Structure 1
Amino acid sequence: MFSNKLLVVVLALVPALTMAQTVPYKVIFDITSSDSAAQKAVIRQMRGISQSRPDAQLEVAIYGDALGMAMKDKSIIADAVQELTSNKKASFKVCAATMKRNNIDKSQLLPGVDVVPDAIYEIVTKQHEGWGYIKVAQ
Protein backbone atom coordinates (compact mmCIF):
# COMPACT_ATOMS: atom_id res chain seq x y z
CA MET A 1 0.00 0.00 0.00
CA PHE A 2 2.80 2.42 0.93
CA SER A 3 4.71 1.68 -2.30
CA ASN A 4 1.58 2.46 -4.35
CA LYS A 5 1.23 5.86 -2.66
CA LEU A 6 4.92 6.57 -3.20
CA LEU A 7 4.60 5.66 -6.86
CA VAL A 8 1.63 8.03 -7.24
CA VAL A 9 3.59 10.87 -5.61
CA VAL A 10 6.63 10.28 -7.83
CA LEU A 11 4.50 10.12 -10.98
CA ALA A 12 2.76 13.35 -9.95
CA LEU A 13 6.10 15.14 -9.52
CA VAL A 14 7.68 14.06 -12.81
CA PRO A 15 5.76 16.58 -14.98
CA ALA A 16 6.55 19.40 -12.55
CA LEU A 17 10.26 18.54 -12.52
CA THR A 18 10.32 18.27 -16.30
CA MET A 19 8.66 21.67 -16.70
CA ALA A 20 11.08 23.27 -14.23
CA GLN A 21 13.99 22.23 -16.41
CA THR A 22 12.53 23.79 -19.55
CA VAL A 23 11.78 27.24 -18.12
CA PRO A 24 13.67 29.81 -20.21
CA TYR A 25 16.58 31.57 -18.52
CA LYS A 26 16.26 35.28 -19.32
CA VAL A 27 18.13 38.12 -17.60
CA ILE A 28 18.34 41.84 -18.26
CA PHE A 29 21.26 43.78 -16.82
CA ASP A 30 20.87 47.49 -16.00
CA ILE A 31 24.06 49.54 -16.22
CA THR A 32 24.48 53.29 -15.85
CA SER A 33 28.08 53.47 -14.67
CA SER A 34 31.14 54.69 -16.55
CA ASP A 35 33.25 52.73 -14.06
CA SER A 36 35.41 50.23 -15.96
CA ALA A 37 35.09 47.70 -13.11
CA ALA A 38 31.29 47.72 -13.46
CA GLN A 39 31.51 47.33 -17.22
CA LYS A 40 33.93 44.43 -16.91
CA ALA A 41 31.71 42.89 -14.23
CA VAL A 42 28.68 42.75 -16.51
CA ILE A 43 30.76 41.00 -19.18
CA ARG A 44 32.11 38.54 -16.60
CA GLN A 45 28.59 37.82 -15.33
CA MET A 46 27.24 37.31 -18.84
CA ARG A 47 30.07 34.97 -19.80
CA GLY A 48 29.51 32.94 -16.66
CA ILE A 49 25.81 32.59 -17.32
CA SER A 50 26.43 31.77 -21.00
CA GLN A 51 28.82 28.99 -20.04
CA SER A 52 26.52 27.42 -17.47
CA ARG A 53 23.30 28.05 -19.41
CA PRO A 54 24.01 28.10 -23.16
CA ASP A 55 20.29 28.54 -23.78
CA ALA A 56 20.13 31.76 -21.72
CA GLN A 57 18.79 34.98 -23.20
CA LEU A 58 20.82 37.92 -21.92
CA GLU A 59 20.44 41.64 -22.51
CA VAL A 60 22.20 44.75 -21.24
CA ALA A 61 20.28 48.01 -21.03
CA ILE A 62 22.85 50.81 -21.32
CA TYR A 63 22.06 54.39 -20.35
CA GLY A 64 23.34 57.34 -18.40
CA ASP A 65 27.09 57.40 -17.83
CA ALA A 66 27.51 53.87 -19.24
CA LEU A 67 27.01 55.08 -22.82
CA GLY A 68 30.76 54.97 -23.53
CA MET A 69 30.86 51.19 -23.14
CA ALA A 70 28.86 50.88 -26.37
CA MET A 71 30.81 53.44 -28.39
CA LYS A 72 33.46 52.58 -30.98
CA ASP A 73 36.00 55.14 -29.79
CA LYS A 74 35.47 54.81 -26.01
CA SER A 75 34.60 51.23 -25.13
CA ILE A 76 37.11 49.26 -23.07
CA ILE A 77 35.02 46.11 -23.57
CA ALA A 78 34.43 46.38 -27.33
CA ASP A 79 35.89 42.95 -28.11
CA ALA A 80 33.71 41.27 -25.48
CA VAL A 81 30.57 43.07 -26.68
CA GLN A 82 31.24 41.99 -30.25
CA GLU A 83 32.02 38.42 -29.17
CA LEU A 84 28.79 38.09 -27.19
CA THR A 85 26.61 39.68 -29.86
CA SER A 86 28.17 37.73 -32.74
CA ASN A 87 27.61 34.44 -30.92
CA LYS A 88 24.00 35.44 -30.28
CA LYS A 89 24.66 34.98 -26.55
CA ALA A 90 23.51 38.45 -25.65
CA SER A 91 22.15 41.74 -26.87
CA PHE A 92 23.20 45.22 -25.89
CA LYS A 93 20.57 47.98 -26.05
CA VAL A 94 21.42 51.67 -25.75
CA CYS A 95 18.90 54.28 -24.69
CA ALA A 96 18.03 56.69 -27.54
CA ALA A 97 17.20 59.41 -25.01
CA THR A 98 20.70 59.12 -23.52
CA MET A 99 22.21 59.24 -26.99
CA LYS A 100 20.21 62.36 -27.82
CA ARG A 101 21.28 64.11 -24.60
CA ASN A 102 24.91 63.37 -25.45
CA ASN A 103 24.67 64.15 -29.20
CA ILE A 104 25.64 60.58 -30.13
CA ASP A 105 24.62 59.06 -33.45
CA LYS A 106 24.00 55.33 -34.03
CA SER A 107 27.02 55.27 -36.37
CA GLN A 108 29.23 55.88 -33.31
CA LEU A 109 28.06 52.67 -31.63
CA LEU A 110 29.81 49.32 -31.76
CA PRO A 111 28.56 46.89 -34.40
CA GLY A 112 25.81 44.68 -32.99
CA VAL A 113 24.61 47.24 -30.44
CA ASP A 114 20.95 48.19 -30.86
CA VAL A 115 19.07 51.33 -29.87
CA VAL A 116 15.83 51.35 -27.88
CA PRO A 117 13.69 54.46 -27.32
CA ASP A 118 14.08 54.33 -23.53
CA ALA A 119 16.24 51.96 -21.47
CA ILE A 120 14.04 52.07 -18.38
CA TYR A 121 11.00 51.19 -20.46
CA GLU A 122 13.01 48.32 -21.98
CA ILE A 123 13.86 47.03 -18.49
CA VAL A 124 10.29 47.26 -17.23
CA THR A 125 8.98 45.55 -20.38
CA LYS A 126 11.41 42.67 -19.94
CA GLN A 127 10.43 42.31 -16.29
CA HIS A 128 6.76 42.11 -17.30
CA GLU A 129 7.76 39.35 -19.73
CA GLY A 130 9.29 37.37 -16.85
CA TRP A 131 12.96 38.32 -17.26
CA GLY A 132 15.17 38.45 -14.22
CA TYR A 133 16.69 41.85 -13.38
CA ILE A 134 20.24 42.66 -12.26
CA LYS A 135 21.46 46.17 -11.48
CA VAL A 136 25.18 46.32 -12.23
CA ALA A 137 27.07 48.49 -9.77
CA GLN A 138 30.57 48.72 -8.39
Structure 2
Amino acid sequence: MKSFFLTAALIAGLSFTGRAQTPAAMHDAEAFQKGTFAGATADQAHYNAVYQLDSDDPKLIQQTLRNINNALEDARLKGKITIELVAFGNGTALFRKDQPYEAPLTALKAKGVILSQCLNTLKEKKISKDELLPLIAYVPSGNGELIIRQAQGWSLVHP
Protein backbone atom coordinates (compact mmCIF):
# COMPACT_ATOMS: atom_id res chain seq x y z
CA MET A 1 0.00 0.00 0.00
CA LYS A 2 2.89 2.38 0.85
CA SER A 3 4.47 1.83 -2.56
CA PHE A 4 1.14 2.63 -4.22
CA PHE A 5 1.03 6.04 -2.51
CA LEU A 6 4.70 6.69 -3.22
CA THR A 7 4.20 5.82 -6.89
CA ALA A 8 1.10 8.03 -7.05
CA ALA A 9 3.02 10.89 -5.42
CA LEU A 10 5.90 10.57 -7.87
CA ILE A 11 3.54 10.48 -10.84
CA ALA A 12 1.85 13.61 -9.48
CA GLY A 13 5.21 15.37 -9.53
CA LEU A 14 5.87 15.47 -5.80
CA SER A 15 9.44 15.51 -4.66
CA PHE A 16 10.70 13.79 -1.53
CA THR A 17 10.72 17.17 0.23
CA GLY A 18 6.95 17.19 0.05
CA ARG A 19 6.71 19.98 -2.47
CA ALA A 20 4.96 19.60 -5.78
CA GLN A 21 6.55 21.05 -8.86
CA THR A 22 4.82 24.24 -9.86
CA PRO A 23 3.30 24.44 -13.32
CA ALA A 24 5.96 27.03 -14.16
CA ALA A 25 8.76 24.67 -13.10
CA MET A 26 7.28 21.85 -15.16
CA HIS A 27 6.96 24.25 -18.14
CA ASP A 28 10.61 25.32 -17.67
CA ALA A 29 11.77 21.68 -17.63
CA GLU A 30 9.82 20.98 -20.83
CA ALA A 31 11.21 24.12 -22.48
CA PHE A 32 14.74 23.05 -21.56
CA GLN A 33 14.21 19.62 -23.11
CA LYS A 34 12.91 21.30 -26.30
CA GLY A 35 15.84 23.73 -26.39
CA THR A 36 13.62 26.79 -25.86
CA PHE A 37 14.38 27.52 -22.20
CA ALA A 38 15.20 31.19 -21.62
CA GLY A 39 15.29 31.34 -17.82
CA ALA A 40 13.00 30.51 -14.94
CA THR A 41 9.40 31.65 -15.15
CA ALA A 42 8.67 34.28 -12.50
CA ASP A 43 5.29 32.96 -11.39
CA GLN A 44 5.16 34.58 -7.95
CA ALA A 45 3.52 37.95 -7.30
CA HIS A 46 6.54 39.22 -5.36
CA TYR A 47 10.14 38.25 -4.58
CA ASN A 48 12.50 39.23 -1.75
CA ALA A 49 16.28 39.04 -1.79
CA VAL A 50 18.90 39.97 0.78
CA TYR A 51 22.44 40.62 -0.42
CA GLN A 52 25.32 39.99 1.97
CA LEU A 53 28.48 42.11 1.82
CA ASP A 54 31.30 41.36 4.23
CA SER A 55 34.30 42.37 2.11
CA ASP A 56 36.02 45.68 1.42
CA ASP A 57 37.42 44.44 -1.91
CA PRO A 58 36.45 47.16 -4.42
CA LYS A 59 35.89 44.55 -7.14
CA LEU A 60 33.48 42.59 -4.93
CA ILE A 61 31.70 45.78 -3.86
CA GLN A 62 31.23 46.82 -7.50
CA GLN A 63 30.08 43.30 -8.39
CA THR A 64 27.51 43.38 -5.57
CA LEU A 65 26.14 46.76 -6.68
CA ARG A 66 26.03 45.54 -10.29
CA ASN A 67 24.25 42.31 -9.26
CA ILE A 68 21.60 44.28 -7.38
CA ASN A 69 21.00 46.56 -10.37
CA ASN A 70 20.80 43.54 -12.66
CA ALA A 71 18.12 41.97 -10.44
CA LEU A 72 16.16 45.25 -10.39
CA GLU A 73 16.32 45.45 -14.18
CA ASP A 74 15.51 41.77 -14.89
CA ALA A 75 12.28 41.93 -16.90
CA ARG A 76 10.90 38.95 -14.97
CA LEU A 77 11.39 40.67 -11.62
CA LYS A 78 10.86 44.30 -12.56
CA GLY A 79 8.39 45.93 -10.21
CA LYS A 80 7.97 42.84 -8.05
CA ILE A 81 11.15 42.52 -6.01
CA THR A 82 12.27 43.94 -2.67
CA ILE A 83 16.01 43.96 -2.03
CA GLU A 84 18.01 44.58 1.13
CA LEU A 85 21.79 44.99 1.15
CA VAL A 86 23.35 44.08 4.51
CA ALA A 87 26.92 45.20 5.16
CA PHE A 88 28.98 43.95 8.09
CA GLY A 89 32.60 43.26 8.92
CA ASN A 90 34.84 44.68 6.23
CA GLY A 91 31.78 45.31 4.06
CA THR A 92 31.19 48.44 6.13
CA ALA A 93 33.66 50.14 3.75
CA LEU A 94 30.76 50.41 1.29
CA PHE A 95 28.95 52.90 3.53
CA ARG A 96 31.94 55.02 4.59
CA LYS A 97 31.88 58.70 3.61
CA ASP A 98 35.53 58.49 2.49
CA GLN A 99 34.73 55.82 -0.15
CA PRO A 100 33.43 56.44 -3.71
CA TYR A 101 30.06 54.68 -3.38
CA GLU A 102 27.63 57.45 -2.39
CA ALA A 103 26.22 58.00 -5.91
CA PRO A 104 25.45 54.34 -6.68
CA LEU A 105 24.02 53.83 -3.18
CA THR A 106 21.81 56.90 -3.53
CA ALA A 107 20.55 55.51 -6.85
CA LEU A 108 19.80 52.12 -5.26
CA LYS A 109 17.97 53.73 -2.36
CA ALA A 110 15.88 55.72 -4.86
CA LYS A 111 14.93 52.38 -6.44
CA GLY A 112 13.70 51.10 -3.07
CA VAL A 113 16.73 49.06 -1.97
CA ILE A 114 17.08 48.85 1.82
CA LEU A 115 20.68 49.65 2.84
CA SER A 116 21.51 48.10 6.23
CA GLN A 117 24.62 48.33 8.37
CA CYS A 118 25.47 46.00 11.24
CA LEU A 119 25.77 47.82 14.58
CA ASN A 120 27.95 45.04 16.04
CA THR A 121 30.59 45.85 13.42
CA LEU A 122 30.56 49.54 14.34
CA LYS A 123 31.07 48.69 18.00
CA GLU A 124 33.80 46.11 17.34
CA LYS A 125 35.71 48.34 14.91
CA LYS A 126 35.03 51.54 16.87
CA ILE A 127 33.43 53.24 13.86
CA SER A 128 31.16 56.21 14.48
CA LYS A 129 27.90 56.62 12.57
CA ASP A 130 29.26 60.08 11.65
CA GLU A 131 31.85 58.31 9.47
CA LEU A 132 29.09 56.65 7.42
CA LEU A 133 26.71 57.93 4.78
CA PRO A 134 23.44 59.29 6.19
CA LEU A 135 21.28 57.29 3.76
CA ILE A 136 21.63 53.93 5.52
CA ALA A 137 19.70 52.09 8.22
CA TYR A 138 21.15 50.13 11.11
CA VAL A 139 20.43 46.57 12.25
CA PRO A 140 21.58 45.02 15.55
CA SER A 141 23.65 42.36 13.77
CA GLY A 142 24.27 41.54 10.14
CA ASN A 143 24.13 37.81 10.76
CA GLY A 144 20.89 38.17 12.68
CA GLU A 145 19.38 40.14 9.80
CA LEU A 146 20.38 37.42 7.33
CA ILE A 147 18.99 34.68 9.55
CA ILE A 148 15.68 36.48 10.04
CA ARG A 149 15.31 37.32 6.35
CA GLN A 150 16.00 33.74 5.30
CA ALA A 151 13.47 32.45 7.83
CA GLN A 152 10.98 34.90 6.30
CA GLY A 153 11.60 33.27 2.91
CA TRP A 154 14.01 35.83 1.43
CA SER A 155 16.62 34.57 -1.02
CA LEU A 156 20.21 35.08 0.18
CA VAL A 157 22.68 36.36 -2.39
CA HIS A 158 26.38 36.49 -1.55
CA PRO A 159 28.29 37.62 -4.63
- Say if 1:82 and 1:111, in contact at 8 Å, map to a contact too: no
* Residue number in structure 2 paired with 1:120: 143
DSSP 3-state at the match of 2:83: strand
Percent identity over the alignment is 21
* Residue number in structure 1 paired with 2:96: 71
- Say if 2:116 and 2:139, in contact at 8 Å, map to a contact too: yes
Q: Post-superposition, which runs of at least 4 consecutive aligned residues in structure 1 deviate over 3 A? A: none
For 1:24 and 1:54, locate their aligned partners in 2 and report how far apart those are by CA, in whole Å: 8
The one-letter code matched in structure 2 to 1:105 is: S
Alpha-carbon shift at residue 107 of structure 1 (Å): 2.4
- Say if 2:50 and 2:157, in contact at 8 Å, map to a contact too: yes
Mind listing any 5+ residue stretches in structure 1 that lack a counterpart?
1-15
The one-letter code matched in structure 2 to 1:102 is: K
For 1:22 and 1:66, locate their aligned partners in 2 and report how far apart those are by CA, in whole Å: 31
DSSP 3-state at the match of 1:111: coil
TM-score normalised by the chain length of structure 2: 0.68
Q: Which protein is richer in helix relative to its size?
A: 1
Counterpart check, 1:30 vs 2:52: yes
Counterpart check, 1:111 vs 2:130: no
- Say if 2:45 and 2:80, in contact at 8 Å, map to a contact too: no
In the alignment of these two chains, the number of paired residues is: 117
**Cα RMSD (Å) of the superposition?**
1.6
TM-score normalised by the chain length of structure 1: 0.78
Aligned to 2:85, which of 47, 56, 60? Answer: 60
